[in-house]
Chain A
Amino acid sequence: NAGVTQTPKFQVLKTGQSMTLQCAQDMNHEYMSWYRQDPGMGLRLIHYSVGAGITDQGEVPNGYNVSRSTTEDFPLRLLSAAPSQTSVYFCASSYRDSKNIQYFGAGTRLSVL
C-alpha cells in the first residue's frame, strides 16, 4: 500500500512564486488535512477536508488554498509564496470517525527565499 504520498519532498521558491504541494491517499479516507511544522511551534493545521467537495480552514489558513475534487487527492496551493511560509508541510488522512488514527505523508520541506 502506498498510504499517503506527498510530492515534492523538497522545494525552493522565490518570494512571489506560486506552487502546489500534492497529496494523495489510496485508503479511501474521507478526512484529509494539511499541517505545517515550524521549530518550537509544533504542528499546526492549515486546511482540512471531510470529503470530496468539502473543505474548511484550520488554525493558520492565510496564504494557502485547497480543493478536494476527489476522495484521493488534496492539493495545497501557495498563490504568492512568502518567506514566512518556509516550513515543513505534512499531509494526513483518516477515516471520518473521530476515533481513527491519522496516517501522515513523508513531508515536503519548502524554503522561500
Chain B
Amino acid sequence: KNEVEQSPQNLTAQEGEFITINCSYSVGISALHWLQQHPGGGIVSLFMLSSGKKKHGRLIATINIQEKHSSLHITASHPRDSAVYICAVQFRAGGTSYGKLTFGQGTILTVHP
C-alpha cells in the first residue's frame, strides 16, 4: 500500500526557534508537495519537489529520494507560522498518475510568542 507518514503530529515552539517537520513515503514517487493549512481552512501549496532542495523566505524543503524522506524546515519561527503542514506525494504510476496526491495526516504547528 502506498503510504505517507508525517512526524511529529503536533509541534509546539517558541518564537524564533528552528522547526523541522518530517515526511516519509513507502515507494517511488514522481513529486512531493508541502502544503500549509491555516486555521481558516484554506490550503496553500508551499513547495513541489522531485529532488534536492528548495527555499522560499524562511521555509526550506529538502528531499532524499534514496531514503524516501523529505523535511520542511522553518527558520526563525513566528506565531503567524502556526498552521497545519501537510505532506503529499504523487506516487510513480502509469499514465494518469499526474495530480493524484496521497496525503500525510498533517503536523499541527503552534508557535508561541
Contacts and interface: CB of A to CB of B under 8 A. Distances in A.
Given A104-B43, A104-B44, A106-B41, A98 B31 contact: yes
B88 interface: yes
B30 A90 contact: no
Interface residues of A, number: 29
Contacts of B48: 99-101
- A interface secondary structure, majority: strand
A101 B41 contact: no
Contacts of A92: 43
Contacts of A104: 35, 42-45
24 contacts: A31-B98, A33-B99, A41-B105, A42-B104, A43-B101, A44-B103, A45-B101, A45-B102, A48-B99, A50-B98, A56-B96, A94-B98, A96-B98, A98-B30, A98-B31, A98-B98, A99-B30, A99-B48, A99-B50, A100-B48, A101-B33, A102-B45, A104-B43, A107-B42
